Structure 1
Amino acid sequence: MYEHILVAVDGSELAHKGLEHGLVLAKALDADITVLTVSEPMHPDSVRAARLAGLDNIVIDYNRQLESLAKERFEVVEGRARDHGIEVNVVHKIDESPAETIVRLAKARDCDLIVMSSHGRRGIQKILLGSQTSEVLVKASVPVLVIR
């Protein structure tokens, strides 16, 4: 049914539930699995302020910290994959739009299912906070399994 599953994680407890669903599906279907985490780049105003303060390498340092956090996150992901007896590919991207990155990577890797979690916010909370899951649902050309 599904041959390559993309699971989007952000390090939250809820994302771990999405990861577990993705791992179980991949094992049951003998599918490849890629786990993606997306970090937002440093805000341009922060970059300008840091440079004015004489911190010229601030973006490099910030990106190194993001890579370090992603590495820690992926250690957990790889451990869970080992527990399920499967191999997992991990990808970290730095991008302003996590949803667009998820959709782009799914297409680039020929994934035929995206698994992600959602807090299920509604009303004004959804408008104010936005919803990466909603955006993926609108933009993805493959099925999206949403874990609440």
Structure 2
Amino acid sequence: MCRKILITTDGSAVSRMTACAGVSFAQQMGAEALVLFVAPEYQYPIYVEIIPPSYPSEEEYRAAMERAGSEHVQPILDACAKKAVRAEGMTAFAESAALKIIDVAARHGCDLIFIGSHGRSGWGQLLLGSVTNKVLSHTRIPVLVHRLVKEPLPD
């Protein structure tokens, strides 16, 4: 039985639909949820002697990504609240989203990683997203891959 489920989001419509399925699954299992958004690390401009004034500082970038992460995580936390699923949300920074997902799941004692795969037909069914594929191949924590039957409408 699962006690704590890591639900990932990247803010996309596909991710939101997957996260909603993850919330329902957590409710059915009587588990709590940890909702995670992984932001890319700050990238310093290369081959530039002087950083352009419009280029954000590392602090500005991190603050903007924290805000974006909160915006992506909050609707999922709201869905958890509506279904009486205890949940917390977080934004993490990493070069590799897959490895960060695995690390966060392990550090927070998650029993399961709930992650999405794009719903495709034909040859596309054979392909998982690169993040999902890396999570599957690098973790010992059980992973539930949720595949959408149809693509969501564009935002």
Band of TM-score, shorter chain: 0.7 to 0.9
> Paired residue for 1:80?
79
Alpha-carbon offset, residue 44 of structure 1: 2.9
Alpha-carbon offset, residue 91 of structure 1: 1.3
- In 2: Cα distance, 1:86 partner to 1:17 partner: 17
TM-score, normalised relative to structure 2: 0.80
TM-score, normalised relative to structure 1: 0.84
1:103-131 per-residue CA deviation (whole Å, 9 max, x = no partner) reads 011111111110011226878xx7xxx70
Query: What secondary structure sits across from 1:92 in the alignment?
Result: strand
Alpha-carbon offset, residue 32 of structure 1: 1.6
- In 2: Cα distance, 1:50 partner to 1:94 partner: 26
Contact 2:36/2:91, CA 8 A, preserved across alignment:
yes
Contact 2:74/2:89, CA 8 A, preserved across alignment:
no
> Paired residue for 1:69?
68
- In 2: Cα distance, 1:145 partner to 1:88 partner: 18
Unmatched 5+ stretches in structure 2: 148-155
> Paired residue for 2:12?
12
Instruction: Give the aligned length.
Output: 142
1:31-70 per-residue CA deviation (whole Å, 9 max, x = no partner) reads 1210111000232336x74953357961111111101111
More helix as a share of residues: 1
RMSD: 2.4
Unmatched 5+ stretches in structure 1: none
**Counterpart check, 1:96 vs 2:95:** yes
- In 2: Cα distance, 1:139 partner to 1:120 partner: 22
Q: Percent identity, aligned pairs only?
A: 27
Alpha-carbon offset, residue 29 of structure 1: 1.5
